[in-house]
């Protein structure tokens, strides 16, 4: 009887039993959210960059809200950004990459949007996923925007993501690329990692078939993990 009780107690405390899977997307801005986003707008007007805001823990609570994300997108003009604050848990990682057209020429001034899970495997701070239409895409806590430079290059600092809980999908960073001035074309893909235990040979082959990059993870000179990710972007 004691053994049965212990098993029942363990099950009641297990992450699968306790952790939520979904959190609702933000609705109307609360007074607190509106005030915080207004502060972010004022900071940008005073000379702060979009990367400055993303790295500032004071604005982390604003990340899921559409108006804050629009501020970041509209004010991201650098080929470099940061997705995390200094106190974000996880293994630091720097991703450098490039975007080029089918002819091999670099795509300058392309808008590069990236978002990912945390080291816990969650898009939100309240659950692994955000419900609703494209909830994770529109509201992920860790996100950033860049504009590729004249050589098509971009770079961002983050932490190594983790795959979703209770799933066999490997860790990944989503990437959307919109060429400058393009009436069509663009890229929606993922950066995956060869150091992920879930990246089996079969998963590696499936990832490549789906058009995702499986990137080699090394250790950079500063001690952070380093990844190289180069993409060819369809233009029609």
pLDDT tens per residue, range 73-130: 999 999 999 999 999 999 999 999 999 999 999 999 999 999 999 999 999 999 999 9
Instruction: Give the pLDDT confidence of 38-62 residue by residue, as tens digits.
Output: 999 999 999 999 999 999 999 999 9
CA distance 9 to 70: 45
Position 9 in a domain? no
The reply to whether 42 and 110 lie within a common domain is: no
The reply to whether 208 and 148 lie within a common domain is: yes
Q: Examine the fold and report which residue of 75, 109, 136 is the final residue of a domain before the chain moves on.
A: 75
Grade residue 182 by pLDDT with cuts at 50, 70 and 90.
Answer: low
Q: Roughly what angle, to the nearest 10 degrees, separates helices 31-45 and 66-74?
A: 10
181 pLDDT more than 90: no
Nearest CA to 235 out of 105, 43, 78, 47 is that of: 105
The reply to whether 158 and 183 lie within a common domain is: yes
Nearest CA to 68 out of 53, 81, 79 is that of: 53
Contact 119, 15 (CB under 8 A): no
Tally of domains in the chain: 2
Grade residue 8 by pLDDT with cuts at 50, 70 and 90.
Answer: very low
Q: What is the mean pLDDT of residues 198-227?
A: 96
Q: Give me the domain span that covers residue 65.
A: 30-75
Position 15 in a domain? no
Instruction: Give the pLDDT confidence of 151-173 residue by residue, as tens digits.
Output: 999 999 999 999 999 999 999 99
Q: What is the mean pLDDT of residues 186-201?
A: 97
CA distance 94 to 117: 15
Position 132 in a domain? yes
């Amino acid at each position: 009887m004691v053994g049965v009780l212990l098993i029942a107690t363990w099950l009641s405390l297990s992450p699968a039993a306790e952790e939520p899977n979904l959190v609702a997307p933000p609705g109307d801005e609360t007074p607190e959210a509106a005030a915080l986003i207004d502060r972010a707008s004022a900071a940008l007007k005073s000379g702060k960059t979009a990367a400055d805001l993303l790295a500032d823990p004071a604005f982390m609570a604003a990340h899921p809200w559409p108006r804050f994300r629009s501020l970041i997108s509209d004010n991201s003009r650098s080929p470099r950004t940061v997705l995390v604050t200094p106190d974000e848990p996880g293994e630091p990682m720097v991703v450098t990459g490039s975007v080029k057209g089918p002819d091999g020429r670099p795509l300058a001034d392309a808008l590069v949007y990236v978002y990912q899970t945390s080291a816990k495997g969650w898009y939100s701070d309240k659950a692994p996923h955000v419900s609703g239409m494209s909830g994770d895409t529109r509201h992920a806590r860790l996100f950033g925007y860049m504009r590729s430079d004249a050589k098509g290059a971009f770079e961002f600092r983050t932490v190594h993501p983790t795959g979703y809980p209770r799933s066999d999908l490997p860790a990944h960073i989503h990437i959307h690329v919109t060429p400058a001035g393009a009436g069509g074309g663009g890229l929606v893909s993922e950066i995956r990692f060869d150091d992920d235990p879930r990246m089996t040979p079969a998963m590696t082959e499936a990832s490549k078939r789906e058009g995702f990059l499986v990137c080699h993870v090394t250790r950079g000179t500063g001690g952070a993990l380093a990844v190289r990710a180069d993409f060819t972007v369809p233009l029609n």
